[in-house]
Amino acid sequence: AQRVTQPEKLLSVFKGAPVELKCNYSYSGSPELFWYVQYSRQRLQLLLRHISRESIKGFTADLNKGETSFHLKKPFAQEEDSAMYYCALRGYNFNKFYFGSGTKLNVKP
């Protein structure tokens, strides 16, 4: 079964602290993984995808197939990073995405 798990509902850190949002997946093939973000009163939007191996707004995520994880990391959190973050997987059916339940990141001043 294809499934995405985000174990933390809420993560609170202070500004300038490192942050790691956890994502684990269940998939038997080679998955495509994504992080989506939803800022307050804004739409869900793509943050980054593992294939591009890019850093967006200081965030990076590495696919670890051994641990079936795709954790999102940022070395120094900013207040404007406060948002809901969703990990998503695109599996066998290229048009079907599976989302985790989301982690709310709260960056305190």
Partner 1 sequence: GAGVSQSPRYKVAKRGQDVALRCDPISGHVSLFWYQQALGQGPEFLTYFQNEAQLDKSGLPSDRFFAERPEGSVSTLKIQRTQQEDSAVYLCASRTRLAGEVEQFFGPGTRLTVL
> Minimum CB separation from partner 1 for residue 32, in Å?
7
Residues shown for the chain: 109
Which residue number, 24 or 99, has a Cβ lying nearer to partner 1? 99
Which residue number, 15 or 49, has a Cβ lying nearer to partner 1? 49
Dist. CA 23–CA 109, nearest whole Å: 25
Secondary structure class of 55 (helix, strand, coil): coil
Which residue number, 15 or 97, has a Cβ lying nearer to partner 1? 97
Non-local (6+) Cβ contacts of 55 within 8 A are 48
> Minimum CB separation from partner 1 for residue 36, in Å?
8
> Minimum CB separation from partner 1 for residue 43, in Å?
5
Q: Which residues form the interface with partner 1 (CB under 8 A)? A: 4, 6, 9, 32, 34, 43-46, 49, 86, 88, 90, 93, 95-102
CB 6 within 8 A of CB 87: yes
Q: How many other β-carbons are positioned within 10 Å of the β-carbon of residue 56?
A: 15
